[in-house]
Structure 1
Amino acid sequence: MELTDAGPVVLLAVLALVVFGLVVAGWPRWGSRVGRAVVRGVQVVLLNVLVLALAGAALNDQYLFYSSWGDLFGSRSTSVQVHHGGTSPEVVSAPVSGPGLRGVAAPAVLPPLPQPGSRLQTYTVVDSRSNAEGQVYVHLPVGYDPRSSRTYPVILGLHGFPSGPRGFLKLDFLSSVDALTAEGRLAPSIVVVPRIDTPASLDTECVNGGAGQPQTDTWLAHDIPAWTVHHFHVKQTRTSWATLGYSYGAWCAASLSMRHPDVFGAAVVLLGYFRPDFSAAYDPLTAASGRGYDLVTMARTAPPPVAMWVLTSREDPLSYPTTSKFLSVARSPLDVTGTVLAHGGHRDSVFTPYVPAALVWLAQTLPGFRA
């Protein structure tokens, strides 16, 4: 019986009613006066404990202060590790609908690198399907050779807002990838860091708007992966593609993986959230069309076969409310590994120390990233 099920509330309510009935009925009626008084006192104390526990369970059911028993009993710890949903083998072996990248044909000869000899390549990518144009950085593994037939797994790195691809590069992601690769704990990987929002000044929340509006979901889930296949030697199976993001980029990472499991097999979500958080100036989704982007509802009603590493903090007003709800409802074949911090707000210094652990998890979870 999970903490967030209806079971604890129902059980506590039934027990409270039973004890209340015993108190009202004056049970037991036999024994000495002192003995009956002691039993009655115990019943009253127990009734109060049950009522308080019932109130706590009901409040937790409403506001989700704790997402699991482990979360509850570890609440005094600096961090709590939780696991919800399925297992990694389920994610790897589960069938998914959709073409993925199997239908994208890699060219016989790749285009030349714009900065030959450099591990960091810079592009401006234009795509007519999503009517998007944005800067894309590509970080290549040591020894990458365009003339070789060796293929690599891909991490799609997603920045925050307001920011851009350079904001992602300034953090510890690429150095962590290099360090773990050198230690033999992560397969050599290509990291693709696109501009999320096109135009750059608009917080699109990585969704497709209506006619004439940005198609950011298509840009990131289809156009950028296809462009990557056309420019680099990459593996084209879902177990070799993952999203990784922080804050707004973490929401995008979660949304892309859950909505497109045929392309992405895993996501690393650092201080993200699980429902769109539009600004007052732009909300392209109506109540009807926006349901597909409610990842909490998706995790409960139609969980995809995706593995997810999630970091949140109880003191983070943006990340924690929807993340705690998401953790409480995630079920198989969705496989969620979570770390809930007791302290720390919404800032880079909170998630940076956990980047290596998230990448090690990725290497242990998806076959394409195993060293």
Structure 2
Amino acid sequence: MGLTSNTVLALAVLAAVALFAATIWLWPRLSRRSRRAVLGRVGLLLATQLALFAAAGLAANKSFLFYGSWADLLGREQEMGVVVDHSLSSAHIKVTGKQRPDVPGGSRAAVGGQIQQVVIEGEKSGIDTPAYVYLPPEYFQAAYAKKTFPATVVLTGYPGTAENLIKGLKYPRTAHQQAKDGKMQPMILVMLRPTVAPPRDTECADVPGGPRTETFFAEDLPAAVSEAYRVGTEPRNWGFMGNSTGGYCALKIALHHPERYAAGAGLSAYYKAAEDVTTGDLFHGNSKERNRANLLWSLDHLPQGKSSFLVTTSRQGEGNLKGTLDFVEKVKAPARVSSITLDSGGHNFNTWNREIPPALVWMSGRLSAA
């Protein structure tokens, strides 16, 4: 039974419940002051606490995928990665592996599509980062052999792992099902985390003397993907979406680079760059760049392009409600804005999984193939 399996989590929860019940049942018998009774009380309390911590830890790990296996948890996963060159590798994208999407018929690329593990090399930024590229089934079908596809960059929050986008947020499976149901067009997804210069959170900015993250996302990534895959180079071919920090980055890049991205979707996004111990000094006293990183300020003071935006929030549970309403109000033509407002939903995977299906459909409607 794997570390992230439902069976292991269920057994841990049952053990915690059973020990709690045993503690309640046996406590009167252990109320004496004898050494045996005291040791019994201590043992039951410790066992119950450990079971509760184990259940909570397994649940958190299942949601956020900190560890993928028991060997990973125990530090025994020592096998070195193997670089594999494939025919689709290009000058700036190296394919290092392939995996099946979690969809019916996933063993055949022409039926279930394919997820490729890649390393993207940024020519201008000098940033190299791992990512996953989801290719829809149509990409491998003869009828589409000479056709291009729209592409969307998908980011996690900070710190996040790109694997969360596949296992926790289920982007490939959702995109596959939505396209199969005729709700969206087949679309390539480029999935990664915003932390392309770990462990620093750069807020997708070009840091003076530091990582040029904005350059990577705005210029290097779309150029590299269009070079390696059948994706166009026009703004209408490209979208950007993400949750939390990834949502802020998606809105920021689409807002400041309408010549590159036609649409940006921010799920539970915030609208002003964070500045804390994880970011370090992002702007080095440059007030112009600090203001530019404030999306609400940018909407008020900078020209708005033809990009489309989607923002999400909830009336109860999210802290970005006011900022989201302000963002919607400040978007002016030729830009366009749409929103999703849930009655209730926190800053978590459950909320984002309720927003991703309609967000992908919205994104598909804003993009087109070359």
Q: TM-score, normalised by structure 1?
A: 0.65
1:186-201 alignment, distance < 5 Å: 186-201=184-199
1:259 to 256, 259, 267: 256
1:120 to 100, 115, 118: 115
- Per the TM alignment, residue 274 of structure 1 is displaced from its structure 2 partner at its CA by 1.4
Residues 316/275 of structure 1: CA separation in 2 closer, same or farther (3 Å cut): farther
Rg comparison, structure with higher value? 1
- Tell me the residue number matched to 1:296: 296
> Structure 1: which 5+ runs fail to align?
1-108
Provide the aligned C-alpha RMSD in A. Answer: 2.4
2:174 to 173, 176, 186: 176
2:160 to 158, 163, 172: 163
Runs of 4+ residues deviating >6 angstroms: none
Contact 1:151 1:234 in 2 (8 A): yes
1:142 to 115, 123, 137: 137
Q: 2:288 and 2:243 mapped to 1: Cα distance? A: 28
Contact 1:114 1:121 in 2 (8 A): yes
For the pair 1:330 / 2:331, whether they are aligned, the reply is yes
- Tell me the residue number matched to 2:265: 268
Q: 2:141 and 2:368 mapped to 1: Cα distance? A: 23
2:214 to 201, 214, 217: 217
Contact 1:134 1:195 in 2 (8 A): no
Aligned length: 260
Q: Which amino acid aligns with 2:89?
A: P
Q: Which amino acid aligns with 1:258?
A: L
1:1-371 alignment, distance < 5 Å: 111=89, 114-115=96-97, 119-145=114-140, 148-170=145-167, 171-211=169-209, 213-281=210-278, 282-285=280-283, 286=285, 287-301=287-301, 302-316=303-317, 318-368=319-369
Contact 2:340 2:355 in 1 (8 A): no
Task: Report Cα offsets for 1:98-126 as digits up to 9, x if no partner.
Answer: xxxxxxxxxxx953865476711111223
> Structure 2: which 5+ runs fail to align?
1-86, 99-108
Q: Percent identity?
A: 24
- Tell me the residue number matched to 1:102: none
Contact 2:271 2:296 in 1 (8 A): yes
Q: Which amino acid aligns with 2:332?
A: R
Residues 335/293 of structure 1: CA separation in 2 closer, same or farther (3 Å cut): same
Residues 143/128 of structure 1: CA separation in 2 closer, same or farther (3 Å cut): closer
Per mean C-alpha deviation after superposition, the further-off stretch among 121-130 and 329-338 is: 121-130
- Tell me the residue number matched to 1:85: none
Q: Which amino acid aligns with 1:136?
A: A
Q: 2:359 and 2:155 mapped to 1: Cα distance? A: 15
Contact 1:255 1:293 in 2 (8 A): yes
Q: Which amino acid aligns with 1:231?
A: A
- Per the TM alignment, residue 318 of structure 1 is displaced from its structure 2 partner at its CA by 4.2
Q: 1:111 and 1:146 mapped to 2: Cα distance? A: 20
- Per the TM alignment, residue 159 of structure 1 is displaced from its structure 2 partner at its CA by 0.9
- Tell me the residue number matched to 1:82: none
- Per the TM alignment, residue 145 of structure 1 is displaced from its structure 2 partner at its CA by 3.7
- Per the TM alignment, residue 316 of structure 1 is displaced from its structure 2 partner at its CA by 4.6
SS in 2 for 1:144: helix
Contact 1:204 1:278 in 2 (8 A): no
